[in-house]
Copies of this chain bind each other. A is one copy, B any other.
Amino acid sequence: MAVEQVLIGGTWRDANFDGTFQADNPATKEALPAEYPVSTWADVDEALSAAAVAFHEMRQMSVDRLELFLNLFAHKLEENAQALCQLAHTESGLPVSPRLLDVEMPRTINQLKLAAVAAGEESWRMATIDTKSGIRSYYAGIGPVAVFGPNNFPLAFSGAAGGDFAAAIAAGNPVIIKANPAQPGTTRELAKLAFEAATEIGLPPAAVQLIYHMANEDGLRMVSDPRLGSIGFTGSKGAGLKLKEAADKVGKPIYLELSSINPVVIMPGALAERGDAIAAEFQTSCLMAAGQFCTNPGLVIVEEDENSAKFLETLKSGFAAAPSGTLLGKGVLAGLTANLKVLEDAGANVEVAASGEGSSAGFTNPNTLLSTTAAKFLANPEAFQTEAFGNCSLVVKAKNLDEICQVIDSLEGNLTGTIYSDTDGGDDPAYDQVAHHLRVKVGRLINDKMPTGVAVSPAMNHGGPFPATGHPGFTAVGIPASIHRFAMLQCFDNVRPSRLPRALHDENPTGHTWRMIDGVWTQKNVG
């Protein structure tokens, strides 16, 4: 069987490769037939050079073409949704329905359409015009972006169609897609449609390129290459931090979305008021898609009392009865097993570890609920906040509010932090304290609902303090803010009017672009 082709410099061609790999079907544990190349540096090098050329061309192009491309690509996804979701299911084990076809594909399409609007409207550029000093500035593309997609969202976070891809293109950057090795076929099909759309719209040939895999050292070399502008990476902490080190060394902005255990604090009043309902919400959130979400609630903090004891009992029977979902692959299972062991070795009690009815024949882990005390947690916070990515969570029982705050203070940065409190104000004084401590540890503070939903909203922050991400000022979800990651600030001082980019002309470029003119946000022309 022929080895699959890479997309470099506008051509699907045989890779320069050193070894091949296959993906598994996680629902059957069987290897899928297609063989994908592990590219050598020659491929990466050629892709980087082609991307640099494409970037120069894209800078001279009308932004309308970016908008047309993103919309056409979205349209092609709509047309091919069924086949793409079937393939993504085969490579990820995630159900076509209700997940891939009903939720993730529409989200992916929506993100591309929002990015299209942003690209054409140019409000994301934050054009700032100071008429008195003759200085104008805005955000513009930073250069070719390498996007490393994760395994847990084969569509919505895919390097070939997800949020990073959409944001990088909207800013006017070519993208080098690094496929997630668990889903090379899905990535290839997405990249095919993206490339078709790019060709039809007339983007430069190397606006979209695809490499399936490369040696670790070539990945490090790629992210530190001067031809590359920036990197988007969603995945494991180990790989992400190595890439970050390489990129940091040469001052290249790299945006990471790494581990997060997403603490959920459930106040005593809330448990007294609606413990069963919260237990049900928590179980759904924690076990949905076998817990393989970046915002999975991996840490629950409660005060020890009869209601929290009852809450734990409810969860135990719920976890035991629920089917354990299919994991994304053997790598996820191996990581989960190893990290559960770290937690157990640290002294966590296994409250339940059971595979409920109807469990998959594929890669699975028993639904696992662990518990410990705040005192034990505080004695070894590093081990106890190990992320065990999958269908498990750790319940921490605190003696009092003070211990809850201490546990929070001991946490690293997280994407989200959630507080449940009662509705009649009894928890309010304690809420204020908990929220004060939690606020600076998380990107998104949530009340009274589980963290697993990540709405595509301009107000969303899917980001947070290190090591949840590499920079607490940026979000990976939410147009237009996510676009800023792949942009540089460009200032024009005394530049003659005819030489300014469209977004900085006196005339509003679209009639509805938001710009800051002499201290006023406006859609009007200058003057």
Contacts and interface: CB of A to CB of B under 8 A. Distances in A.
Interface in A494-527: 494-496, 499, 514, 516, 519, 521-522
A123 to B, nearest CB: 9
A457 B133 contact: yes
Contacts of A250: 466
A491 B459 contact: yes
A33 interface: no
Contacts of A473: 139, 142, 253, 484, 487-489
A499 B428 CA distance: 9
Contacts of A436: 56, 59-60
Contacts of A474: 489
Interface stretch (A76-84, A191-199, A320-328, A437-445): A437-445
Given A416-B493, A446-B494, A461-B491, 18 more contacts: A56-B436, A133-B459, A133-B460, A135-B460, A137-B459, A142-B472, A251-B413, A252-B466, A432-B499, A443-B489, A445-B491, A446-B493, A447-B493, A447-B496, A447-B499, A459-B491, A473-B487, A521-B522
A113 to B, nearest CB: 14
A464 to B, nearest CB: 8
B136 A470 contact: no
13 contacts: A59-B440, A130-B458, A133-B455, A135-B455, A135-B460, A136-B459, A445-B491, A445-B492, A445-B495, A446-B495, A447-B494, A447-B499, A474-B489
Interface residues of A, number: 72
Interface string A468-483: 0011111100000100
Given A60-B436, A472-B253, A461 B490 contact: yes
